[in-house]
Amino acid sequence: MFDLVFNTLFFASYSNAFGLANISLSPSDILLAYIVAIVVSIVVALVLRIPLLPSKPIRYSFDVSAIYPTPIIAMGIFSIFLVLDYTFMYNGMVLAVAVGIISALFVKYLFDFVFPKPLNGDEGEDI
**pLDDT tens digits along 82-98:** 888 788 888 889 999 99
Higher-scoring residue by pLDDT: 106, 53? 106
Examine residue 17 and state whether it is found in any structural domain, yes or no.
no
The domain containing residue 90 runs over which residues? 1-8+31-46+65-113
pLDDT of residue 121: 65
pLDDT of residue 5: 61
Please give the DSSP secondary-structure letter assigned to residue 1: -
**pLDDT tens digits along 12-68:** 555 554 444 545 678 888 899 999 999 999 999 999 999 998 887 777 678 889 998
- Domain total in the chain: 1
pLDDT band at 122 (very low <50, low <70, confident <90, very high): low
Examine residue 109 and state whether it is found in any structural domain, yes or no.
yes
